[in-house]
Amino acid sequence: MARRQTRTPAGETVQDYTENIVDIDVTSEMEGSFLEYAYSVIYSRALPDARDGLKPVQRRILYMMSDMGLRPDRGHVKSARVVGEVMGKLHPHGDTAIYDAMVRMAQDFSLRLPLIDGHGNFGSLDDGPAAPRYTEARLAAAALTMTDHLDEDVVDFVPNYDNQLTQPEVLPAAFPNLLVNGTTGIAVGMATNMAPHNLVEVISAARHLIANPDATLEDIMRFVPGPDLPTGGRIVGLDGIRDAYATGRGSFKTRAKVEVEQLSARRTGLVVTELPYMVGPEKVIEKIKDAVNGKKLAGISDVVDLTDRKHGLRLVIELKNGFNPNAVLQQLYRYSPMEDSFGINNVTLVEGQPQTLGLLQLLTVYVDHRISVVRRRTVFRLGKKKDRLHLVEGLLIAIVDIDEVIQIIRSSDEASAARERLMSIYDLSEIQANYILELRLRQLTKYSRIELEKEQDELRKEIAELEAILESDQLLRELVSGELGEIAEKYGTPRRTVLLESEAVSPTVASAAGVESKAGVKGKPAPLALEIADDPCWAILTASGQIARTANQDSLAETGPRSKHDVFRSVVKTSARGEIAAITSQGRMLRIQVMDMPVLPPVSGLPNLAGGVPAKDFITLLKGESLVAFAPLDEVLALGTAQGIVKRVQPDYPLNREDWEVITLKDKDTVVGVAPAGSDDTDLVFLTRQAQLLRFSAAVVRPQGRTAGGMAGIKLAAGDQVVFFGAVAPGDESAVVVTISGTEGALPGTAPGAAKVTAFAEYPAKGRATAGVRAHRFLKGEDTLLLAWAGHGPAKASSSAGVARSLPQEHGRRDGSGIPLSQAVDVIGPSMAWPESA
């Protein structure tokens, strides 16, 4: 492109001029410009005032919304309208910055006591808010206390950016907003980051400081032990908090609130209900998946976010079987945002200067501000009351001779003449005379002397009270303290964040996981084994159909809480990483991994028998099928059926299958009992509903393969059925036979019955496939055995949590009758099997 040239017209001369080029040092210019920029950012944008805890943009938003009348008892308005008003009148910056500040003041996960009541999508910890044209807002109830009494000259007003309007230099702030809601901001060369606190605790500390101006930091920390974050969680380690309260700088760790839950019969999980401050669930899920893919985290199978508005945050971390939940949790704290660090940096503006303040200094600045606000408010109200009293006194003077006053006003040519005559005749001030002249005639005649004198007395009383407050520093402080107490009572909420001195694993989590937590040195938890050790334990099946395993192989003679009448039905000694068999009523055997079974959480050191899961939720059962017993996979087992069939099974089970048949049953036959019978000296026992007992040696039953149908065990009479099958160890002199008789078809408790206990040795051994001997003689009204059991004993279950080992024994004939059931032990329920060492 050609350069344009300017030619001098012909006949004209070029005018001389003097060049004035000033050389400026670039260093000085940059320093000056940068300082102006830094000053603007520090004082006008990034740092809050220590008195009301607000940055300029936040203060302008609240003031403008109050000026617009957006109170809690009125409707919401579009956020874009508020942003426009603030930007056009008070804050000449971008609308995005104004809207972002407005959104944060409406988020209950950002502020401990939100100041704006938002309607619409104001964002979450993982997502931003909707555009201001979609959301609506109004002041929250707590925000009214921040702007109350602005019309009573409680704070100074300063011009806005174009000197056309005024705005408050600071808000009255009826509560310590800076401590309650915290703040964050990045200025030039400095930054601030302050944690939220509990309103009740902070106000309690402020009231103590008002009453005791010489209070120490230790006194204040008795009321404010630590931050109270909006999202709850746990703060671990309080040394950093003490440093921050003393110097204004410090840090602390925040952790998620986690509980171990049994997600299903086979699956355990970590359930997160609270996260560290400003950490969202999506961020946690992303970091966990990255750590799992990077081989940093082990033992996690899936992470599911079940958060909703009704139940709140619920993040489920499913664990693989065989992993210690506490150890996985320690890994999560290390490699995910479930543990986060919060750095406190209390930089704030005090009298226009940025300072780093501790807790005591912050409260002192606020208390001084609040005392100043209340004093100025009292002075303003005193002036108003005195002005009104002056007018009332003038009316009282004029009303004595109201007719003459009216005549003076009517006879005067103009208002100034009437004013002069009133002032001279009645000795009124110019203000009083003007007030009388401005009243309409009907208003002037309306006043009665009694009403005016009553108002005069009330005004004098109020003036005396206000003057007393101004004259007494103690009364002024009591007034400020009382108003703070009202705020705490109205808006206070319980503490959400738990404060922990050390980093030891929570005992609740440890006990729920069935492991013992070992607290290490303060601040350094002892490392835990990631995978569950192959420790000895018991696999348990109870009479109510609950299955579980114990955390160790201690004695089972005493148990913790359980359902009434629930007892051990089958108990197998195994290990945490072992395998056992489960035999069903239809002759199926299922291979079970012991580590998949839920652990009975101990209560007072005893296994909690009520802590298992139903068998139907753990094992897939066919229609009409039930779980009969647990058994070891490496021993010869004896099975007995309802039709009197007996079978010993060789432990040659398939290694590539999870379930198989161990007996071929006849039509309508079912397995009623299973017992280890590896020794030929073991006695096998049948008990039938018609009270027949058959005892014979296991040696006469040769072990068979899995598909065999067994052989005749007991000869049954017509209509009879086996009710119990079991085994008695050779030489067990304490073995007993327990029988309970009743009426078939009767509801429990509606017909008489009898219970009987007899030594097992009293029953002679008979041949296999015979009818056996009589075990119980029925009384009148009895025709069947409701319950029968034979084995190691004696033992009974009580209605309380424990068990006892004493049953009343019948010393008569073995085929005699029992004692009345009402006098017998509390043993109504299915059979029990006790291990030898239990």
Question: Which residue is it, tokens 């607000």?
Answer: 54
**DSSP annotation of 44:** I
By the 8 A CB rule, do 637 and 631 touch?
A: yes
By the 8 A CB rule, do 248 and 192 touch?
A: no
- Rounded to whole angstroms, the Cα distance separating 227 from 331 reads 26
Query: Pseudo-torsion of CA 761, 764, 766, 769, nearest 10°?
Result: -70
Helix (H) or strand (E) holding 559: none
- Rounded to whole angstroms, the Cα distance separating 564 from 826 reads 10
**Distances 455 to 270, 430, 458, 658 between C-alpha atoms, Å:** 69, 21, 5, 95
C-alpha torsion sign, points 212, 344, 233, 119: positive
Length of the chain: 838
The pair phi, psi for residue 362, each rounded to 5°, is: -65, -45
Q: Which residues pair with 103 in a beta bridge?
A: none
- Rounded to whole angstroms, the Cα distance separating 56 from 183 reads 13
- Rounded to whole angstroms, the Cα distance separating 677 from 640 reads 12
Burial 733-748 (b: 16+ CB within 10 A, else e): eebbbbbbbbbeeeee
- Rounded to whole angstroms, the Cα distance separating 228 from 498 reads 8
Closest CA to 316 of 282, 283, 271: 271
Token readout for 434 is: 């003007």
**Distances 291 to 288, 330, 334, 335, 530 between C-alpha atoms, Å:** 5, 13, 10, 7, 16
Token readout for 836 is: 């030898």
- 134 flagged as catalytic: yes
What is the 3-class SS of 185-247, one letter each residue?
EECCCCEEEECCCCHHHHHHHHHHHHHCCCCCHHHHHCCCCCCCCCCCCEEECCHHHHHHHHH
* Nearby residues of 482 by Cβ (< 8 Å), 6 or more positions away: none
The helix/strand/coil state of 53 is: coil
* Nearby residues of 642 by Cβ (< 8 Å), 6 or more positions away: 669, 670, 671, 672, 721, 722
By the 8 A CB rule, do 739 and 724 touch?
A: no
Is residue 676 exposed (0-12), middle (13-18) or buried (19+ Cβ within 10 Å)? middle
User: Strand pairing of 498-500 and 754-759?
Assistant: unpaired
Closest CA to 218 of 229, 209, 227: 209
Helix (H) or strand (E) holding 437: helix 430-438
**DSSP annotation of 822:** G
The helix/strand/coil state of 606 is: strand
Token readout for 502 is: 């050390």
Helix (H) or strand (E) holding 775: none
The pair phi, psi for residue 460, each rounded to 5°, is: -65, -35
**Active-site residue identified among 37, 39, 134, 161:** 134
Closest CA to 157 of 170, 144, 146: 170
Token readout for 516 is: 């013992």
- Rounded to whole angstroms, the Cα distance separating 385 from 466 reads 9
Q: What amino acid positions are annotated as catalytic residues?
A: 134
